[in-house]
């Protein structure tokens, strides 16, 4: 197991581990050979579990809305969703939400694609569906506008801060466009409400910044609480290596060349590590 990056990121830790461990070179090489085939409880596995939980929420939300929209057909007196301006569009969006939950659960289970691509695709689709549901429910003054906040809040938990803010910005753009279109369409006499749009936009941005910051602090705190001995040295070094790579990318806003320079590595080595750990 190479500890060059750990020595750069945390010299004191590297020296301490070097003094405490006298593992033979042959055993170290054997451990490195079998490392790729052994699953350990790492941050990556935890984050995939978070994706499963998010899709479970999407199942519950879509099924609940589908049940509520069918109640008026059973008894016309039951109108839990109120008057929908586009009932068919609302039904179609819920069906797509349910199907996408199935699709992304499958992709998360197979883990054939990069985590970032899967999670960004999922939340991008959720923003579009939230826009359609809000439009079908009567624009931003309807109760379905809360779905934007659910999408941004859950996305901010698992996404890096820059991507979380990007998600909130996309939600604001789609929300504003939907409201402008609803006012322009004016079939149901919807009046412009710029104050409410500005208030929603402010809350979305602040929420994404605050939640992503807290999630990042929690992840770092979990790493700092780790006591060598709870798991193997190899697993601990991998964990520290991933943490150093992520912090370097965050400090350079995703610039891999600058991140490699920050850690004193060649760009080729840095790119190999990032690809290996699916960061």
pLDDT digits (tens, 9 = 90+) for 118-138: 888 888 999 999 999 888 888
Distance between the two ends of the chain, CA-based, in angstroms? 19
Which stretch of 112-116, 123-127, 215-219 has the lowest confidence by average pLDDT? 112-116
Task: Based on the fold, state whether residues 84 and 194 are members of the same structural domain.
Answer: yes
Crossing angle, helix 233-251 and helix 25-35, to 10 degrees?
60
- Domain assignment present for residue 170? The answer is yes
**Last residue within a domain, chosen from 218, 236, 271:** 218
pLDDT at residue 152, as a whole number: 92
Q: How many domains does the chain have?
A: 2
Is residue 39 in a domain?
Answer: no
Q: Which two tokens stand for residue 195?
A: 């104050």
Task: Residue 249: give the domain boundaries.
Answer: 227-279
- Coil, strand or helix: which one is 107? helix
Q: What is the CATH number of the domain that holds 266?
A: 1.10.10.60
Tell me, yes or no, whether 209 lies in a domain.
Answer: yes
Q: Is 248 exposed, middle or buried (0-12, 13-18, 19+ CB in 10 A)?
A: buried
CB 82, CB 144: distance < 8 Å? no
Most confident of 38-47, 155-164, 184-193: 155-164
160 neighbors 212 (Cβ within 8 angstroms): yes
User: Residues 100, 206: one domain?
Assistant: yes
120 and 206 together in one domain: yes
Note whether 68 and 206 are same-domain residues. yes
Neighbours of 142 (CB within 10 A): 20
Which tokens hold the place of 33? Answer: 């050979």
Q: Is the residue at 135 inside a domain?
A: yes
| Domain stops at, among 200, 218, 236 | 218
- Mean of the pLDDT values across residues 254-270? 82
Q: Is residue 140 part of a domain?
A: yes
Instruction: Please say if the pLDDT value at position 150 is more than 80.
Output: yes
Whether residue 71 sits in one domain with residue 197: yes
Band (39; pLDDT cuts 50, 70, 90): very low
The tens digit of pLDDT for each residue in 71-92 reads 877 877 777 776 677 778 888 8
In the numeric block, the tokens 């509520």 are attached to 68
Give the residue ranges of DSSP H helices in 145-232.
Answer: 146-158, 161-185, 194-224
């Amino acid at each position: 197991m190479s500890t060059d990056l750990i020595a750069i990121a945390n010299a004191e830790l590297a020296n301490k581990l070097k003094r405490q461990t006298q593992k033979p070179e042959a055993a170290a090489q054997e451990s490195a050979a079998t490392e790729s085939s052994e699953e350990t409880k790492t941050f990556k596995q935890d984050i995939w579990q978070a994706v499963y939980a998010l899709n479970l929420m999407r199942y519950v939300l879509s099924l609940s809305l589908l049940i509520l929209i069918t109640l008026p057909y059973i008894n016309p007196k039951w109108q839990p969703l109120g008057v929908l301006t586009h009932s068919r569009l609302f039904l179609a969006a819920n069906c797509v939400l349910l199907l996408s939950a199935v699709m992304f659960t499958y992709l998360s289970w197979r883990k054939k694609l990069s985590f970032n691509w899967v999670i960004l695709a999922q939340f991008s689709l959720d923003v579009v569906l939230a826009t359609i549901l809000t439009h079908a429910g009567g624009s931003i003054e309807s109760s379905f506008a809360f779905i934007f906040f659910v999408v941004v809040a859950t996305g901010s938990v698992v996404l890096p801060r820059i991507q979380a803010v990007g998600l909130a910005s996309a939600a604001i753009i789609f929300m504003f466009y939907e409201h402008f279109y609803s006012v322009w369409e004016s079939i149901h006499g919807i009046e412009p409400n710029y104050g409410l749009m500005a208030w929603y936009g402010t809350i979305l941005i602040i929420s994404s910044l605050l939640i992503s910051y807290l999630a990042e602090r929690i992840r770092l705190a979990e790493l700092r609480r780790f006591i060598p001995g709870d798991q193997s040295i190899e697993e601990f070094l991998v964990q520290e290596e991933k943490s150093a790579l992520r912090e370097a990318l965050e400090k350079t806003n995703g610039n891999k060349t600058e991140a490699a320079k920050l850690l004193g590595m060649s760009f080729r080595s840095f790119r190999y590590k990032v690809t290996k750990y699916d960061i």
